[in-house]
Structure formats: C-alpha cells, structure tokens
C-alpha cells in the first residue's frame, strides 16, 4: 500500500471537515491534554486502526493513538479497542474522520467475513470487485482483505478485463481478445467475461491468450458443463460472478470453479456502531459504566 497516497487521501478527508477556517468549536476549548477511548457498540470485526492512527498523527503529531486490539479481531458490544491521548481540541477535531473510516471499514470487514464463512471448506476463493466508493477504493479493498477475501484488480491499470461492452465494440469475443492482447503489457493478465454459450464458444479459438474466464450471471446448474469445456482446452482459471448472495454461495462452494466475485462485500456492507468518549476528569474510562 502506497503510504504517500494514504497520507494524501487522509489529508483530503481532514480538509473536507476543516475547510479554510478550521474547527471553530474545538478551538474554543481549554488548552489541556485528555484521554479518550474508542468503544464498540455492536459486535463487529475491527478494521481501520492504521488509518485512524494516521488521522491523528497527521493533524497533530503530539497525539498518541494506542490500539488495544488488532486488525481483524472480533469486538463485542462495550469493548474498548483503542485509546488516544493528547490536546482535547485535536482529539475532537479528528474524532469524526477517524470514526468514519473505522465504522465504514469495520462494516465491510464484518460483512466480508460472513461471505468467507459461507465458503468455509471449499476450494473456491472469494474476490472483491471494482465497485467501490470513489475516493475510498484503497481503504475498502483493504477492508475486504481484513475480512478474509482476496482483491480483484484495483483499477484499469493493473490487469486486462474484456467485458460485454468491449466485446460489443469489437463485434465479438475473439476480435476483442486479439486486439487487447496486441497492445497489453507482457506481464498483464487477461480476463474475459462471457455471458452465454455463444460467447464461450467464440472464446475457444483464443483461449490460450487468456488467464481467467469469468462466467457472468450463468445459471449455476450449467456451470459444471461450461467448466468441463474450458478445462479440456486450457489450464485457464475460472471465475463465477453476478447475482452472488450469501444464500447462493452455499451452492457455489461445491462448484468446480477457482474464484467467485461479488460487489456485495462492499456495496451491501453497513456501517458499524462505534463511538469515542473523552475521559473529562483525567481518569481512565470504566468499561462497566
């Protein structure tokens, strides 16, 4: 993960809140150092601690952020999972940006873990997709990894994916594959999406140029036959995508495919309930309170 890009994005997040003037409310607070704690209000998988730490350190290096648990650990309601100590104005200026990242990413990691559990015992590997929130892709794809999934391509630059609109623009699967393979970097992998038997058969003459075939929105009962046809011709990897839910994953787990991808890891994730509480009198937070 590019640390310069992470810092740039987090600075942008802070500036979104601070604007030109800064935090006019927190600037009026007494000049004193305090301790605050991060608390889980519901059961979830913890994700985003490195980014929360960076929020505080970029704004005010004197703030000390101390995780009490690790990334990917299961939180129960009431669990104190991090402490922060520093100027009260700095803590309160940064708390919402830090919480936004923690709540969003923990929600994605928690949701992803449910999908991973549905595939438990299967050889099929779970992938995320490029359907991410603009500006948050780096963080959201990190969260799917914490939840136990693997990352699909990050953007248009790190792998070739020939999709339905590329095929339509070229007049067919074979022509689209030949065109892209003529210009792609030698090390870039090629994935081709096929939506029906006609497109699959069109792909066969150029299958040796392809690394991964995606069976997009295929009826699950037809997948074994499609896989058998592909395996006879090549050692190509096979990915299943489209309409994947927690319920369908139980059937997918038994299919002879290599990967299953779904945007639902991110798009169906909800924010988890986390909070920050300042210990105003300087005493440690009492988890029983």
- pLDDT at residue 287 above 50? no
Angle made by CA atoms 132, 60, 289, in degrees to the nearest 5:
80
| Cβ(124)–Cβ(96) below 8 Å | no
Active-site residue list: 96, 131, 163, 193, 216
Strand ranges inside 17-62, DSSP E:
33-40, 44-45
For the chain, the maximum distance between any two Cα atoms, rounded to a whole number of angstroms, is: 74
Residue found under tokens 């709540």 = 103
CA atoms within 13 A on the CB side of 132: 22
| Cβ(271)–Cβ(113) below 8 Å | no
Secondary structure of residue 84 in the 3-state scheme: strand
- Separation CA 177–CA 170 (nearest Å): 9
- The pLDDT tens digits of the residues spanning 32-48 come to 999 999 999 999 999 99
- pLDDT at residue 86 above 80? yes
> Could you give the domains of the chain?
3-115+270-279 (3.90.1170.20), 119-267 (3.20.20.70)
Which backbone phi and psi does 84 adopt, to 5 degrees?
-135, 140
- Separation CA 18–CA 58 (nearest Å): 13
Name the pairing type of β-strands 259-261 and 125-127.
Answer: parallel
Q: What is the pLDDT of residue 234?
A: 80
- pLDDT at residue 286 above 60? no
Q: Which residue has the higher pLDDT, 98 or 29?
A: 98
Secondary structure of residue 150 in the 3-state scheme: strand
Secondary structure of residue 158 in the 3-state scheme: coil
pLDDT band at 281 (very low <50, low <70, confident <90, very high): low
Whether the predicted model's global pTM rises above the 0.85 cut: yes
- pLDDT at residue 284 above 90? no
Q: What is the mean pLDDT of residues 121-139?
A: 97
Q: What is the pLDDT of residue 187?
A: 93
Tell me the average pLDDT of the chain: 94
């Amino acid at each position: 993960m590019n640390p310069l890009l992470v810092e740039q994005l987090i600075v942008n997040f802070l500036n979104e809140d601070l604007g030109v003037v800064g935090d006019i409310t927190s600037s009026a607070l007494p000049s004193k150092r305090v301790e605050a704690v991060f608390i889980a209000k519901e059961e979830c998988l913890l994700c985003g601690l490195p980014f929360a730490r960076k929020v505080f350190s970029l704004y005010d290096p004197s703030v000390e952020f101390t995780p009490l648990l690790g990334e990917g650990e299961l939180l129960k309601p009431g669990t104190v999972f991090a402490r922060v100590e520093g100027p009260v104005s700095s803590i309160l200026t940064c708390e919402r940006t830090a919480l936004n990242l923690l709540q969003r990413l923990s929600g994605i990691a928690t949701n992803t873990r449910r999908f991973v559990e549905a595939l438990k015992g299967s050889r099929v590997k779970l992938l995320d997709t490029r359907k991410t929130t603009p500006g948050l892709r780096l963080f959201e794809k990190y969260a799917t990894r914490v939840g136990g999934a693997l990352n699909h391509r990050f953007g248009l630059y790190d792998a070739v994916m020939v999709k339905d609109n590329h095929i339509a623009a070229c007049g067919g699967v074979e022509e689209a594959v030949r065109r892209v393979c003529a210009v792609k970097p030698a090390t870039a992998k090629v994935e081709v999406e096929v939506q029906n038997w006609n497109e699959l058969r069109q792909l066969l003459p150029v299958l040796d140029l392809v690394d991964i075939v995606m069976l997009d929105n295929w009826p699950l009962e037809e997948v074994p036959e499609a896989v058998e046809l592909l395996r006879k011709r090549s050692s190509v990897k096979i990915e299943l995508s489209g309409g994947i839910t927690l319920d369908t994953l139980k059937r997918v787990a038994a299919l002879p495919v290599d990967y299953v991808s779904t945007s639902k890891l991110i798009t169906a994730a909800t924010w988890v309930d986390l909070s920050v509480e300042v210990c105003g009198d300087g005493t440690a937070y009492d988890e029983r309170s």
